[in-house]
Amino acid sequence: MSAPTLDLFRAADILTPWAVRVAATLRIADHLAAGRTRLPDLAEAAGADTDALGRLLRHLARQGVFAEPSEGVFALTESAEPLRTDHPGSWRARLDLTGIGGRIDGAFAGLLHSVRTGEPGYSSVFGRSFWADAADPSIIPSFDAIMSGHDYWFHEVAEGYDWAGVSTVVDVGGGAGGLLTEILSRFPRLSGTVFDLPATVVEAKKVLEEAGLTGRATTYGGDFFEPLPPGADVYLLSNVLHDWSDPDARRILRRCAEAAGRDGRVLIADRVVDDRADQSVTAMDLRVLVLMGGRERTEAAWRALAGSAGLTVGKVVRRDRGVTLLDCALDDRARIDDVG
Fold of the 147-274+292-339 domain: Rossmann fold (3.40.50)
| Of residues 34, 52, 10, the one with CA closest to residue 23 | 52
Res 278 pLDDT > 80:
no
* Mean pLDDT (whole number) for 116-125: 96
> In angstroms, rounded to a whole number, what is the distance separating the alpha carbons of residues 40 and 42?
5
Options 31, 87, 155, 242, the catalytic residue: 242
Secondary structure (3-state) at 194: strand
Percentage above 90 pLDDT, the chain: 76
Q: What's the pLDDT band for 337 if we cut at 50, 70, 90?
A: low
Name the percent of the chain in helix, strand, coil, to the closest 5.
Answer: 55, 15, 30
Phi, psi of 171, deg, nearest 5: -85, 100
Query: Could you tell me which residues are beta bridge partners of residue 298?
Result: 273
Q: What is the pLDDT of residues 219-259, one digit of tens each?
A: 999 999 999 999 999 999 999 999 999 999 999 999 999 99
Q: What are the structural domain ranges in the chain?
A: 3-95, 147-274+292-339
Q: Top-level CATH class of 3-95?
A: mainly alpha
Residue type for position 261: G
Q: What is the pLDDT of residues 37-61, one digit of tens each?
A: 999 999 999 999 999 999 999 999 9
Whether 242 is catalytic is yes
